[in-house]
Structures are given as C-alpha cells and as structure tokens.
Structure 1
Amino acid sequence: MFRHMVFGADDPEAARVFYDATFAAIGVGPGVPDPNGRFIYRHEGQMLIIGRPIDGQKATHANGGTLGFFAPSAEAVHAWQTAGLTNGGSLCEGAPKERISPATGQMVTVAYLRDPTGNKLCVVYEHEQA
C-alpha cells in the first residue's frame, strides 16, 4: 500500500546512526544519502526518507502516529530495540512483549521506540499460526 514515508529530523546524522542500527537488526540495509542531505532506506519497493523538513522549520513528530515495521523473528524484535536504545533512541511502552494483535487476532512479538526526533516506531514479528 505505501510507496514511501518521510520523517523530519533536525539532526539527520543522529537519525542515520539510529536507523542504520535498528534496520540492520531486521535485515534492512543502511540509508543512502541523497543530494539534499536526506537518507533514503529502501526495502522491497518501499522507502523511508529521513532528513531536515523541506520548509526549513523544526522537525516535529505526529501526535498519535506510529510507523510499524516487520521483523523476521522474535529475536530480531529484541535486537531492534537494543540497537535503537544503544544508538540514540528512547524507550517507549516498555520491553518487547508477546500479545494478541488487536488488528489481526494473531500472536505477535512487538516492541516500541522513539527515534532521536521523537517519532514513535514499532517492530512486529507475526508468529506462525498453529
């Protein structure tokens, strides 16, 4: 459904360090700089773009917004959160946990972080159905 998402960052380099580390934990390569000083992350036809806001104003995060990513395993969920906390992110909603997804009714392992700008992120591993 999504082609790309864009997050503003007042410190694009701090954002790059955070996203390179967290994405490595879930099998996504590092960001590639573009001519405008933004970093572009590509995976399976989708893009996440991180950089200074085009209008020159201070970056802000969405109130109530969360961007979710797939993880290849429950272990990757834990590695993602650890990498984020080690690389400028902050804890959001506690340690990774297993629960039933209210959206799908499926068992998931999920973790949340805030990136260096304050954007809320989550990563989800959807367990195999028995």
Structure 2
Amino acid sequence: MTIGYVTIGAHDVEAALPFFDQVFGAIGYERGEPEGGWAFYGPKGAPCVGICKPHDGAAPRAGNGIMIAFKATDQEQVRAAHAAALAAGGKDEGGPGFRPPEGAEFYGAYFRDPVGNKYCVYATT
C-alpha cells in the first residue's frame, strides 16, 4: 500500500501558505497552483500533501498523538525545515538532533504549525 496524499486542515488556506511554503521548500517540495480551495505540495504524480479547509466546515484542530513525518535527504534539510517552521510562526517540539540522543541513524526535528498539527522532518544515515 502506498499513501496517495495527506491533507492538513487550515482556517484560511491562503494565510497558511507562507508557513507551508517555507517548511516544505526547505525539503525540496514545490507548491502547485491552489485550486478549488486546496493547495498541494510535492512532486507531480507522487504522494503529496494538500492544505485545505475541513470538509465538514468545522474548525481545523490538531489530533492528540497524530503526527506527520516527512523524510528529508540530509541533516541540513532537517535543520532548515525546523528553522523555517519556527520563523514562520510554528512552535518547537524538539530541535534537530539524533533520536535517541546517543543514536547515529535517525536525525529528526519536531514542530507544530500555527493550528497545532505536529510534524517531524527526519533524515536517516
């Protein structure tokens, strides 16, 4: 099974784009043209991330225990994505580093977007 796409709820899609442009740009994802209230990030034809208002019309909210992780190509992209998230109004949930701290294979950083959704950007060696 392959993930086709992931959606992330936003109060205002246009207002959310600067945050996601910076974070996803740091790991090489490009945004397609917003269409029908949606904006998509990722390579054409590959699994992607969609930013949209919730279909039910209720406010978007973060799920407790739910996190989306994006694989970066290297530690530099992890650091850049984390820094971009904080600069764009995100909240730190664990700065760049090895997990566990004594490890040498999983290098990740954690943050939340302005709505409160939690993300990880990581690289493996």
Structures share a fold, TM > 0.5?
yes
User: What is the SS of the residue equivalent to 2:95?
Assistant: coil
C-alpha separation in 2, matches of 1:84 and 1:14: 15
Which residue is equivalent to 1:26? 27
Higher alpha-carbon deviation: 64-73 or 40-49 = 40-49
Which runs of no fewer than 5 residues in structure 1 stay unpaired?
none
Shift of 1:31: 4.4
Shift of 1:14: 3.1
Matched-pair identity in %: 37
After superposition, what is the alpha-carbon deviation per residue over 1:41-75, rounded to whole angstroms, capped at 9, x for unaligned? 13361111111111111111111001000111101
Shift of 1:7: 1.3
Runs of 4+ in 1 over 4 A off after TM superposition: none
Which residue is equivalent to 1:87? 88
Residues 20 and 31 in structure 1, CA contact (< 8 A), matched pair in contact too: no
- Picking from 107, 124, 127, the partner of 2:122 is 124
Which runs of no fewer than 5 residues in structure 2 stay unpaired?
none
Shift of 1:11: 2.4
Q: TM-score, normalised by structure 1?
A: 0.85
Residues 98 and 104 in structure 2, CA contact (< 8 A), matched pair in contact too: no
Where in structure 2 are the equivalents of 1:11-50 lying within 5 Å?
11-35=12-36, 37-43=37-43, 45-50=46-51
Q: TM-score, normalised by structure 2?
A: 0.88
User: What is the SS of the residue equivalent to 1:79?
Assistant: helix
Count, aligned residues? 122
After superposition, what is the alpha-carbon deviation per residue over 1:6-50, rounded to whole angstroms, capped at 9, x for unaligned? 111112223211111011111111243012x12111336111111
C-alpha separation in 2, matches of 1:82 and 1:116: 14
Quick one: structure 1 residues 89 and 14, their matched pair in 2 at CA, closer, same or farther if it must change by over 3 Å? farther
Letter of the structure 2 residue corresponding to residue 13 of structure 1? E
Letter of the structure 1 residue corresponding to residue 117 of structure 2? N
